[in-house]
Amino acid sequence: MKKLSLLFIAALIPFNHALAVEPEQLTQNSRAAVKALGGELKATLQASMKANGPVDSITVCNIDAPNIAKKVSTDKGMKVARTSLKFRNETNQPDAWEKAVLEQFQQRKEKGEAVKTLEYSELSSVDGKKVFRYMKAIPTGDVCLACHGENIKEPVSAKINSLYPDDKATGFNKGDIRGAFTVTQTIN
């Protein structure tokens, strides 16, 4: 009987190990997708800022960023996007889950956690499908302040207002939580 119990327990160990590894692999896949999106967005924006200045670079966020997110989503086989409590583009408005995570990030930041380390993931259900959701905070960097800071210069401000009349994405300081990358992977 003792041998049978040990055999049964031994048979369960690989099964339980597989369950424990799956969320970690999903997290790693999400991190890779965020790195791809963040890297391409940052490189595109920095190149445009250097070549064209901030006014003309607003089109990177307005036109290029959604296309880059779609490309990364397709390449990675998951939905990869950006969101914020103070969003500029209505299509980036957080859903209820994202809003709760962003608020949790803000609380964690206030307790001393570094913004660049803030992340959260969860297995859940969306529209009856099992999904893995992941978010990674985006720290406000120097490049962000020209369009998202407290003192946005007039030509930039005018361009933002023309493209985003309901803009909520200003008043940031370096090191603030600008928003977050958000990833949704459907679980088969």
Q: pLDDT by residue for the chain (188 residues), tens digit each?
A: 444 333 333 334 333 333 343 889 999 999 999 999 999 999 999 999 999 999 999 989 899 999 999 999 999 999 999 999 999 999 999 999 999 999 999 999 999 999 999 999 999 888 889 999 999 999 999 888 999 999 999 999 999 999 999 999 999 999 999 999 999 999 97
What's the whole-model pTM score? 0.86
Residues contacting 47, CB < 8 A, separation 6+: none
Instruction: Find out whether 165 and 112 touch, Cβ atoms under 8 Å.
Output: no
DSSP letter, residue 77 = T
Q: How far apart are CA 137 and CA 115, in angstroms?
A: 6
